């Protein structure tokens, strides 16, 4: 493998934040069944879809009974603004504490979300709320979806190559429950009501000259798949966000991910067999199975992803960062071992990072 770059940044800490209202999957299913009632042509189909998504528990920003009343999108988005700030502050505060840093150390802030919009953006509101340094370089993003956490992680690492004395924050906040469409009986919406959860994740990365230990980011790679923008995303109207989710997503992953990962790793003289830890976003059972088949790895090698899916559902952009936290806190690999962080999302696109623990 190529020698470690002297300016390589490191991941100093990671922390997630979940909202307070936690439910088992059947509680959410029962509430949805009561809410939709006769509008469900086949109520049993909703139960089957929820049973297949591999989720046991989810945390939501509102009490379950509040979801049965459809609100205008403006009111829903205002709720997203309030709750996103709460989750973001909690995640960032926890990540700072784990790295033993305070807000004065932050030089750059990469924020991503795909479940609400506002201007000024959430990161700007945190500047005031948390009294972050006025010189912080802010880079908010919208529309990246499930790939957002990995994309911001890669961009922050790239930034730190040229700013080795800086500390960068990656902050992903998703409140998927506020995007539920009460009059959408499509299979995509029924699946999403069983799969996606609410939560936030924050990662602190430091430049090479900052004396904080952590896994080193050796390389990053972005991959865009031309003419695939219709396979995943939102249709946005006066009603808010309506999910677009093609059943062809797993096949696209299965046929593309192996060559893309191999080409990325080859640039660092690394093979898939050299990877000890796989940090892959919790896209759902069909996505995780497609990744495993494409990468020729076992379910056990993706255990952290399956556990996060079961414990909190798919947190969209925050999901891969939640998997990273589980590995850092509960499954920390041996020093010197290699890991691959990967996520895929709307575009259709992928982001990969090679790390050394």
Q: How far apart are CA 119 and CA 125, in angstroms?
A: 9
**Beta strands per DSSP E along the chain:** 10-17, 21-24, 57-60, 108-113, 137-142, 167-175, 198-206, 216-224, 232-237, 240-245, 275-280, 338-345, 349-356
The length of the chain in residues reads: 357
Q: Residue 149 is encoded by which pair of tokens?
A: 């956490």
Choose the catalytic residue: 118, 146, 308, 349: 146
Backbone angles phi, psi at 327, to 5 degrees: -70, -45
Q: At what angle do helices 122-129 and 73-99 cross, to 10 degrees?
A: 60
Q: Residue 21 is encoded by which pair of tokens?
A: 């209202």
SS3 content of the chain, % helix, strand, coil (to 5): 45, 25, 30
CB atoms within 10 A of CB 246: 15
Q: Find the helix or strand (DSSP H, E) in which 2 lies.
A: none
- Sign of the dihedral through C-alpha 344, 268, 276, 205: negative
- Using the structure block, give the residue that is written with the tokens 């946005």: 236
Q: Any catalytic annotation for residue 349? A: no
196 secondary structure, DSSP code: B
Q: At what angle do helices 43-52 and 25-36 cross, to 10 degrees?
A: 160
Q: How far apart are CA 64 and CA 37, in angstroms?
A: 16
Q: How far apart are CA 320 and CA 66, in angstroms?
A: 29
Q: Find the helix or strand (DSSP H, E) in which 288 lies.
A: helix 285-295
The catalytic site residues sit at 146
């Amino acid at each position: 493998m190529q020698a470690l770059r002297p300016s390589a940044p490191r991941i100093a800490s990671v922390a997630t934040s979940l909202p307070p209202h936690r439910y088992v999957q059947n509680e959410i299913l029962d509430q949805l069944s009561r809410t939709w009632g006769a509008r469900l042509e086949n109520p049993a189909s909703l139960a089957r879809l929820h049973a297949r998504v591999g989720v046991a528990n989810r945390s939501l920003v509102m009490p379950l009974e509040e979801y049965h009343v459809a609100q205008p999108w403006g009111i829903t988005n205002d709720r997203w603004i309030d709750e996103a700030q709460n989750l973001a502050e909690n995640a960032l505060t926890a990540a700072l504490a784990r790295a033993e840093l305070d807000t004065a150390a932050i030089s750059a802030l990469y924020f991503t979300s795909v479940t609400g919009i506002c201007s000024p953006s959430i990161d700007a509101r945190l500047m005031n709320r948390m009294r972050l340094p006025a010189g912080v370089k802010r880079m908010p993003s919208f529309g990246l979806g499930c790939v957002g956490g990995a994309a911001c992680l890669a961009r922050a690492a790239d930034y730190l190559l040229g700013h080795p004395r800086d500390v960068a924050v990656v902050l992903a906040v998703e409140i998927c429950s506020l995007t539920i469409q009460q009059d959408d009986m499509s299979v995509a919406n029924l699946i999403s009501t069983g799969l996606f959860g609410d939560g936030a994740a924050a990662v602190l990365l430091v430049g090479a000259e900052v004396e904080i230990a952590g896994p080193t980011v050796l390389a990053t790679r972005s991959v865009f798949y031309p003419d695939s923008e219709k396979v995943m995303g939102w249709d946005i109207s006066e009603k808010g966000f309506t999910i677009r989710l093609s059943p062809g997503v797993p096949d696209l992953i299965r046929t593309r991910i192996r060559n893309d990962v191999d080409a990325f790793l080859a640039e660092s003289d690394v093979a898939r067999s050299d990877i000890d830890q796989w940090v892959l976003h919790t896209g759902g059972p069909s996505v995780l199975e497609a990744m495993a088949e494409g990468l020729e790895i076992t379910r056990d090698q993706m255990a952290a992803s399956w556990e996060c899916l079961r414990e909190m559902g798919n947190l969209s952009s925050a999901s891969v960062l939640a998997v990273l936290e589980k590995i850092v806190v509960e499954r920390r690999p041996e020093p010197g071992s290699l890991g691959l962080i990967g996520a895929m999302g709307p575009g259709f696109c992928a982001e990969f990072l090679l790390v050394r623990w």
